Each structure stands twice: as structure tokens, then as C-alpha cells.
Structure 1
């Protein structure tokens, strides 16, 4: 579980990132969860964009993505979701305590 201080730190890190996944009309699926897990292992911090034609609510999508990928939900702002998961192999982000 992330503290408020850690979430603020991660939000500042994520500010300059571009979304690398888009959730559209089809919603989320197992293939997407796997790809997000792989991306989180490589990058630790990612953004996911929820398109306007997505049939699911963005908060529901964010909750599903964080649960199914084992990531921490950092923020949902607008139609963008920020996820964080500490990498086992390529740890680059040092969280404040």
C-alpha cells in the first residue's frame, strides 16, 4: 500500500509520461493484463488512456487493471490511469519512506 507521500512522488514522476496503452470499446481483457504486467516489470510506472468509446466506467477500468496486473493505482485523472508496480529485475524508482 502506498502512502500519500509516495503517491505524490509517483504522480510527479508520471507527469511527463505518455500513455502506452489505450482501453477502447472492447474494454479490458486477459491479453491486456499480461501486456500491462510486462510493461510494469520493464518501466515500473505507466499511464493508460481510457478512450471515450469505452463502455466501462474509467474508475471500474482502473480498479480492474490494478487488481489483475498486481499494480498499485496511483491516480485516475481525467481519462488517464497511472499504475505503479515495483520491478523485480529492473528497479529504477526509489520511493520515499
Structure 2
């Protein structure tokens, strides 16, 4: 999945108003967290995830791992918050952050 720079810019603008829907604490990527990220991506397509881990390198590794496991695109990372995008199989206009 490859998106253009123009699309990334548009997604960053939309993502600015979003609140994190998943928060990852010291436990890291558990099965429950991955399930919730998958559900949120399928419903909303564009989501924010807050990673409350102090070490930058560990945070960067978690973000890369989420992108790889969930097959999603990392749009932006600012501090402890990452913005992810994955196109839904069937986009729901009531739930999707891109269609509202």
C-alpha cells in the first residue's frame, strides 16, 4: 500500500482533530491491543495511537511493528502519538474518519 504525499498531507489535516483511540502502556503490544488497533483501523481507517513509553527507540520500534503487523501506513509521528491509515474493506460512512 503506497500513498502519495498529497494524500499524507490531507490525512495529517484530518488527523489533527482526532483523539487517540488506542493507548499502549508499559505492557507493549499484547494480543488485546493488536485486536483493538485492527478493529479501529477497520472502522475508522485513520486512527491515532498514544504510546506511553518513555524510550524513543522502543517507541519507534513499536510503531514500525504496528505498521508491519497491521499492514497499515504510518502517516505521522509526533512525540508519543502516531497516526495510522489503512483502507477498510467496506468503508462505513458513519464511522470512517475519511468519509465524514
TM normalised by structure 2 equals: 0.83
SS of 1:28's equivalent in the other structure is coil
Q: Post-superposition shift, 1:44?
A: 0.4
Q: How many residues align?
A: 94
1:41–1:88 CA contact under 8 A, matched in 2: yes
2:22–2:36 CA contact under 8 A, matched in 1: no
Could you tell me how far apart the structure 2 residues matched to 1:39 and 1:61 are? 17
In structure 2, runs of 5+ residues without a counterpart are: none
Report the equivalent of 1:69: 70
TM normalised by structure 1 equals: 0.85
Show structure 1 runs of 4+ deviating over 2 A. Answer: 52-56, 91-94
Could you tell me how far apart the structure 2 residues matched to 1:54 and 1:38 are? 27
